[in-house]
Amino acid sequence: MNPLIYDFDFPELAARVKSWGEPGYRGVQVWEGLYRNLWLAPEEFSNLPKALRGKMGGLLAFEALRPVARHESRDGETQKTLFELRDGLRIETVLMRYPAREGRQARRTLCISTQVGCAMGCTFCATGQMGFKRHLSSGEIVAQVLYYARQLADEGEKLTNVVVMGMGEPFHNYEATMAAIDRLNNPQGFAFGARRFTVSTVGLIPLIRRFADEKRQVNLAVSLHAAQDELRASMLPINEKYPIAELLEACRYYVGKTHRRITFEWALIEGVNDTPEQAHILARKVKGLLCHVNAIPLNPTQGFAERGASRQRAKVFKETLEQAGVPCTIRMRRGVDIQAGCGQLAVRAGKK
């Protein structure tokens, strides 16, 4: 297969165009066509000579992924697209629409995938239940964002946030994930602000430390879900390798290096991790750490029997944390009716 054009950063793309005997400014035109004009195919590059357009089409691939199914939630606020990759494997990407409310503008948040499946094996996550197929390339990650950027532009809207919380563990595919973010952040191209990205990890400590050392402005979220090792390990097998004490030490390192707040994600499971006791233990362990707890009642999946916490239990969990000085938000479930909620993304058959 021809190389995917979205897999090149600007210097690589410019060098490729120059190797065809083209002047340097042609590389800039191609880059801006891709990331500013959001052009999809060589023939759309009307500012380029016909011969160059033909060369681009013959030597580079433009179609990273193909939409094969789209589902919209009953409330119209969540849309999930099933994409087929060039090798026939499939991923899911979710767009969430948040209306404007007092003190906050309307948001259009995209949840993107970084892998086909996931190797982390978290018991309550449909992607973890699916198993690991392969990493996505940086270009395949980028292409998800550009697809929805085009759709929103056609609707007279703009993407406001990108959460790297879809299928896969982003830090397991660290190089490609960060390359994709850097490409989308490039001020001469898509120019999407670093602080509008949030990357989520189950807690791969060496990569958290590397991320901290790079002092990126990208937001970091850690999937914690339990405050005791035995309970966490029963849900997140990675805890056997990276226990909570070591994980929180890495989180403190991150905050110390970047001076940025870290978010802890917590899927509230009724009678399991939604108790005041778990909230008290968590509050003691994160005392003094610049953090925020993002809790959401567990979304149902076929491979996990437990159910999400009730509204009342979630309220008590939140209040217990806040009384102990730990800020907490109970997030709204989104897209559950189309299996688009947190932890629900999966492709039952790897190929069509």
Q: Nearest-CA neighbor of 145 among 118, 113, 168?
A: 113
Specify whether 92 is catalytic.
yes
Mean pLDDT across 143-160: 96
Return the minimum-mean-pLDDT range out of 36-45, 121-130, 249-258: 121-130
Mean pLDDT across 312-336: 87
Would you state the pLDDT for residue 352?
39
Does CATH number 1.10.150.530 belong to domain 5-59? Answer: yes
Q: Token digits for 103?
A: 């003190």
From the list 92, 140, 169, 265, the catalytic residue is 92
Give ranges for CATH 1.10.150.530 in the chain.
5-59
Instruction: Read off φ and ψ for residue 4, nearest 5 degrees.
Output: -80, 125
Would you state the pLDDT for residue 280?
97
Residue type for position 10: F
Give ranges for CATH 3.20.20.70 in the chain.
65-338
Beta bridge pairs of residue 265 = 223, 294
Specify whether 342 is catalytic.
yes
Q: Where are the beta strands (DSSP E) in 1-106?
A: 65-72, 78-85, 90-98
Q: Can you give the pTM of this predicted structure? A: 0.93
First to last CA, the chain: 19
Give the SS3 label for residue 268. Answer: strand
Check if the beta carbon of residue 314 is closer than 8 Å to that of residue 273.
Answer: no
Mean pLDDT across 112-116: 97
Q: Which CATH class is domain 65-338?
A: alpha beta
Beta bridge pairs of residue 330 = 295
* Cα–Cα distance for residue pair 305/286, rounded to 1 Å: 29
Handedness of CA 319, 243, 216, 268 (dihedral sign): negative
The helix or strand, by DSSP H or E, that contains position 121, with its residue range, turns out to be none
From the list 111, 251, 291, 342, the catalytic residue is 342
Return the minimum-mean-pLDDT range out of 16-30, 96-110, 201-215, 258-272: 96-110
* Cα–Cα distance for residue pair 280/267, rounded to 1 Å: 16
Mean pLDDT across 264-274: 93
Residue type for position 251: C
